[in-house]
Structure 1
């Protein structure tokens, strides 16, 4: 019986063939020993198979492809890729993201060096735009293990702490805590990180391994609305059930999280020149559920500035 690979790179694809090729090329330039690639494709056509065959033809690793005649949907496509994986660890690399130069090698070396000590790991990322221009280098200054209490505080006081392709998870954990739950809609990834961090904490690695692409086609660009706020508030109720955070810690996390969530969403729309959408995102502060939330000092300047801008007519 062949030995299971160390890492499964799971790629849930959906109608972005050029970027799928880019992601696969970032894998194919490195050594495929101890790595497998799993592509589960919700796209309208199965052209992803030809792209994978072309890019990975001479790659030394193992790869598999599956096209769905009936799309599974976002979360279930992630789950299908993970369930099909055989690696000791898995990571989800969306078809619009890619590995940095030597990023996959650094990731594998880290896993080998740590020797299965930590079931959940978080690496650094470069946040890039559609043209791959670097917008932000997000990484940790040093390696650090965050136990469950600390991990949850960091997760829920910083809405951008976890960029999806930067998370590496021991595959057997999904049997213990379950898979991504589509009932949570857009924040279902955050709900998964909550479960994992609450049970295992997270080991933060200083190495940056992947690029996370921010662009107009991303599903997260359409997630700044009243329904998502409602779901996020329910998520904080679930967080309280773990009994790992005090009441004051929960409230502080909520203030920080929603300020960053709304202001970051408003800034994305402002940067794209979507004035009406910018105003709509800022209008989320008027929801009764958020009306009594205190302003947090960290974000006070930007909230004041954006609030003033939202009152202006189209410039």
Structure 2
């Protein structure tokens, strides 16, 4: 079959998890001809690239494996899309899945099938968390683990790139590179990209059948990690507002969100009795203010 879809997988120092991702992608069945592009972002020790070449080389799948030496998740993702667009010029659909995820059976068919049927510019699907160590019920209810769900339908925009399809025409209409490298080490480059897609008038759909599972390490369920991530989410939201709205509006939103954050935090605490859950609406506006002062967290920067 001719290549109709290209599945892009950026990876960084997760060879064991990448093996699972590749196995799930290689197992996809249906009437969609597809290729795989893997970008290893560890230029110093690209074990992910070696693994991908080994695993995909044992299949009949067309594939391309490259190393992106510029550190940063936006650099890696941009390189993946760049290689996919150039190497498979007749493929109208580009998909992405992260190296800590697996695609369930029928994932590719559901994604491409909906794009064919609806002519959607972008398609997203559910990401169901699988925890390395089962956290307590409070952590499971944390807003950071809540995502879009429900029936297949048209939606306003996507928020994450870990389970998505993007039509080639989107890349042709938007300026290159697609992901703003200012979000390289902060995160949120995907949300900023999808914000631009919405503002440009692209049509986004949600496929309930295109399911991926995300493996969550135990370190990502601690109170400390979740509180830092709440702060970072606020910083990302401010940066996106700052890029697409006047400064005065972004700063006014900071002030309003601080007041609302206190009220919402108290409300959540009274309703749930959980300081952790109550901290989220409080810390997000704090993250906005911190970002407005130019103090951005960089959780994705590696020291080596």
Shift in Å, 1:203: 1.2
- Matched positions, count: 251
**Alignment pair present for 1:193 and 2:194:** yes
Shift in Å, 1:65: 0.4
Which residue pairs with 2:284 in the alignment?
none
Residue by residue, what CA displacement relative to the aligned partner does 1:180-221 show, whole Å, maximum 9, x if unpaired? 002133222211111112221411222132112333577x96
CA distance in structure 2 between the aligned counterparts of 1:175 and 1:198, rounded to whole angstroms: 16
CA distance in structure 2 between the aligned counterparts of 1:215 and 1:128, rounded to whole angstroms: 9
Shift in Å, 1:105: 3.3
CA distance in structure 1 between the aligned counterparts of 2:256 and 2:231, rounded to whole angstroms: 10
Unmatched tracts of structure 1, length 5 or more: 156-160, 242-246, 255-286
Shift in Å, 1:298: 10
Which residue pairs with 1:208 in the alignment?
210
Which residue pairs with 1:162 in the alignment?
159
SS at match of 2:125: strand
Shift in Å, 1:29: 1.8
CA distance in structure 1 between the aligned counterparts of 2:276 and 2:100, rounded to whole angstroms: 35
Which residue pairs with 1:173 in the alignment?
170
Residue by residue, what CA displacement relative to the aligned partner does 1:114-165 show, whole Å, maximum 9, x if unpaired? 4xx11111222222223799x789664332223xxxx1xxx5xxxxx63422
CA distance in structure 1 between the aligned counterparts of 2:128 and 2:277, rounded to whole angstroms: 29
Any residues of structure 2 matched to 1:293-304 within 5 Å, and which? Answer: 293=260, 300-302=267-269
SS at match of 1:82: helix
TM-score (norm 2): 0.67
Unmatched tracts of structure 2, length 5 or more: 280-304
SS at match of 2:209: strand
SS at match of 1:56: helix
* Residue 291 of structure 1, aligned match among 243, 258, 276: 258
CA distance in structure 2 between the aligned counterparts of 1:132 and 1:108, rounded to whole angstroms: 33
Shift in CA distance, 16/303, structure 1 to aligned 2, threshold 3 Å: farther
CA distance in structure 2 between the aligned counterparts of 1:209 and 1:131, rounded to whole angstroms: 21
Shift in CA distance, 101/141, structure 1 to aligned 2, threshold 3 Å: same
Which residue pairs with 1:233 in the alignment?
238
SS at match of 2:71: coil
Shift in Å, 1:288: 6.8
Say if 1:31 and 1:60, in contact at 8 Å, map to a contact too. no
Shift in Å, 1:228: 5.6
Which residue pairs with 1:258 in the alignment?
none
Which residue pairs with 1:65 in the alignment?
65
Across the aligned residues of Structure 1 and Structure 2, the Cα RMSD in angstroms comes to 3.8
Say if 2:124 and 2:206, in contact at 8 Å, map to a contact too. yes
Shift in Å, 1:240: 4.6
Which residue pairs with 1:105 in the alignment?
109
CA distance in structure 2 between the aligned counterparts of 1:172 and 1:162, rounded to whole angstroms: 20
Shift in Å, 1:20: 0.6
CA distance in structure 2 between the aligned counterparts of 1:89 and 1:132, rounded to whole angstroms: 36
**Alignment pair present for 1:10 and 2:14:** no
- Shift >6 Å, 4+ stretches: 296-299, 308-311
SS at match of 2:57: coil
